[in-house]
Amino acid sequence: MRRLGLPPASVAKDHSLPLTLGDVMCASCFPWLLECGRGGFSLRSPMKEHDVPSRIQLRDVSDDDLPTFFEHQLDQVATRMAAFTAKDPADRDAFAAHWARIRGDDTITIRTILFEGRVAGHIAKFERCGDPEVTYWIGREFWGKGIAAEALAVFLVEVKVRPLYARAAKDNVASIRVLEKRGFMVCGQDRDFANARGEEIEEVVLKLV
């Protein structure tokens, strides 16, 4: 999916906010108990039908997280899957300026994703043309562990605004599956230029009500 902090979902079409769902990283009210401690959020059990382990925690982004985020966006496999990324993922100055801007924007809710205490990625809600949109990025070493779906579930407990939108490259089946698992439904399609692929591609627009 697309831009934010690095790649999933951004305001304008500059793709400065990466939106990566699925494991690349880009439900209304979940009947789960929210536990808050030390500035972070996690789900606590027991839960029945949709059991989300407490191995996932979200907290505010710290300066110490940024080097890890920068390394994530240098991964060519991940950026190609995300498709809509920064023009030059290796540009540290642009990366620093981008994160300073989004961390200082009160309209953006952004959290670091912790997996068993380790920084695994980030997730955020921002506005595109007045519509709230979710985006996230998971480091490739953490793929295949269900982290994106679990982090999204926790985030949706904190961010209650509805409708909430999301976008993913049409061929990013894993990302679309993660979103649909959390209640998002496909509501349209679009075409946009994907920096990571050097061409215009199709993307799917999803909506959570």
pLDDT attached to residue 54: 74
pLDDT attached to residue 111: 98
Arithmetic mean of pLDDT, 78-95: 94
- 107 exposure class (CB count in 10 Å sphere: 0-12, 13-18, 19+): exposed
Torsion of Cα atoms, 53 then 55 then 61 then 64, to 10°? -170
The whole-angstrom separation of Cα 189 and Cα 209 is 18
Nearest alpha-carbon partner for 42 in 31, 33, 51:
33
User: Whole-prediction pTM value?
Assistant: 0.77
Place of tokens 């839960």: 47
- Whether the pLDDT of residue 165 is over 90: the answer is yes
* Chain segment 93-102, per-residue pLDDT in tens: 999 999 999 9
Arithmetic mean of pLDDT, 94-111: 97
Arithmetic mean of pLDDT, 151-164: 97
Go through 144-174 and write b for each residue having 16 or more CB atoms within 10 A of its CB, e for each that does not.
ebbbbbbbbbbbbbebeeeebbbbbbeebeb
Torsion region of 76: left, alpha or beta (phi above 0 gives left; psi -120 to 50 gives alpha): alpha
* Chain segment 25-82, per-residue pLDDT in tens: 443 222 222 333 444 554 443 334 344 447 999 999 999 999 999 999 999 999 999 9
Domain architecture of the chain: domains with CATH: 33-208 (3.40.630.30)
Torsion region of 168: left, alpha or beta (phi above 0 gives left; psi -120 to 50 gives alpha): beta
> Which pLDDT band, with edges at 50, 70 and 90, does 24 fall under?
low
118-128 and 131-138 strand pairing: antiparallel
pLDDT attached to residue 21: 40
CB 124 within 8 A of CB 60: no
pLDDT attached to residue 161: 98
Q: Which residues contact 59 (CB under 8 A, 6 or more apart)?
A: 38, 39, 40, 41, 111, 112, 114
pLDDT attached to residue 188: 97
Arithmetic mean of pLDDT, 173-197: 96
